[in-house]
Amino acid sequence: MFGSRSSRKAISVCLCLAFLSAPAVAQPTKLKWADNTEKTTIDAEFVRMADGAVILKKDGKEISVPLAKLSMASHLQALKLAKPDAFAKAPPKAVVGIEQTAESTKLLNESPFKDNQSIEEFLNTLTSELEAGNATAAWHALTPEMQADVEDVVVAAVEAGGKGMLVQFRSLMKQLATIVRDKKSFIFAHPLVAADPKKARDIQQAWPEIEVFTEALTDKANWDSANFKPGNVGPWLAALTAKLGSAVVKMDQMAIKAGRPGADLKKLMANKVVSQSGDKAMVQSLYTPPPVMNPQTRQTTQSKPSQPVEWVRVSGKWLPKDLVDNWKDGVSSAKSQLDTQMPQVSVGLGVVIPLASSLANAKSQQEFNTALQQILGPLMGAMGGQNGMAGMQGGNFGGGQPGGAPGGRPGRSLNGQ
């Protein structure tokens, strides 16, 4: 069929040579993947990424693992495999996004919640972590699917606001940093502070924490657009928590010690488990909000104790059933309103930034007082002159001497202290 025996032999040799010279077909490579505790690992092939999860093949079967369940190294490995071209480029020289530290990495990767916790243990863990300044615990209290939804809304919100909004926000943070760093003398000489020795003393004692808090909050790396890309919201929250946590705790402790209102989370989150059966429980809040005064009628209404709320266990996390049932609708509603809400945020920043700038750029006490009047005046007008603030309106606001409030009356803060 193929001619002579020698011809068939020559063809066989050519086919062998062609086979040997052909490029080898790459075989799927098994890689090591670790969960966010870095205690559990598997060897599996990467298939693709889809819907906030990485699809892996193990023992011939595809499995879906939420990105939130992966360690940071495995999360990055998935991103690199899904978008090799993006990671093939040389990294930019400028540092973008918030810097990850050993503390923030630990906050992100180590959930404070243990497996199979009772609802009492879960709530106690959440309260103690938040009280210690670990806001990332609230992130870990959500299911992986909820975390993905939160990230989706945050990313969509920043995209709807555009880069201009982030530029505005960084500008506002810059002004705030300048006020705290350079205008301390003007703040303490303002009548609202100078007329109240106790208030001045409290603020003076808390000032180191205020400076630490402001420096951490206003770091421009916090508000880089890179933080609000898919996969970065959780790390951003953990890094921000690592920066702000200790300062928030110290400020709150000093406020309570000085007799001022503080975020007493033990009181706010006090509760009693009324009943529990399997993955369902009824929880009664023991916190009763303080009386509320209507600014128009000046009538005080006593808040009523809350009714027991049903909680359910989902993916090992205890959550209010109403929240679980309405979560998807709430996420959809939030996303549908972004196109109208975010431009309003930008407009609001456009109003606030010049006012903050006038405080930051004040060259004298009078300039500073006048700038502050522009900010507080409308607020006090809305309060109808309550809490002794009426005497500080108009031309008298800030017109007194540093040693006392205008009109010889002791000044008060917005909360009447």
Instruction: Determine the pLDDT at residue 252.
Output: 73
Residue type, 29: T
Element holding 216 (H helix, E strand): helix 197-218
What's the Cα-to-Cα distance from 202 to each of 69, 185, 213, 353, rounded to whole Å? 44, 15, 16, 28
Nearest to 196 by CA among 397, 414, 393, 403: 403
Cα distances (Å, whole numbers) of residue 106 to 27, 34, 74, 204, 257: 35, 15, 15, 33, 31
The burial class, CB within 10 Å (0-12 / 13-18 / 19+), for 316 is middle
Name residue 41's beta-bridge partners: 34
Residue 196, number of CB atoms within 10 A of its CB: 19
State pTM to two decimals.
Answer: 0.63
pLDDT of residue 73: 74
pLDDT value for 402:
34
Tell me the C-alpha distance between 239 and 272, whole Å.
Answer: 33
Task: Please give the CATH superfamily to which domain 5-88 belongs.
Answer: SLA1 homology domain 1 (2.30.30.700)
CB atoms within 10 A of CB 161: 21
Determine whether 66 is exposed, middle or buried from the number of CB atoms within 10 Å of its CB (0-12, 13-18, 19+): middle
Rounded distance between C-alpha atoms, residue 109 and residue 355, angstroms:
40
Position 381 scores a pLDDT of: 52
d(CA 107, CA 137): 8
373: CB partners within 8 A, 6+ apart:
397, 398
- Where do the structural domains in the chain lie, given as residue ranges? 5-88, 102-265
Please state the φ and ψ torsions of residue 287, each to the nearest 5 degrees. -90, 130
Per-residue confidence in pLDDT tens, the chain, 417 aa:
444 455 454 444 443 434 334 444 444 578 998 887 778 889 999 998 887 788 999 988 999 988 778 876 787 788 778 777 655 544 333 335 787 888 889 999 999 999 889 999 999 999 899 888 898 999 999 999 999 999 999 999 999 988 788 889 999 999 999 999 999 999 999 998 999 998 888 888 888 888 888 888 898 888 888 999 999 999 999 999 988 887 777 777 776 666 655 556 677 788 899 999 999 999 998 887 777 777 777 788 877 778 899 999 998 899 999 999 999 999 999 999 998 898 888 888 888 888 899 999 999 999 999 888 887 766 555 444 444 333 333 333 333 333 333 333 333 332 333
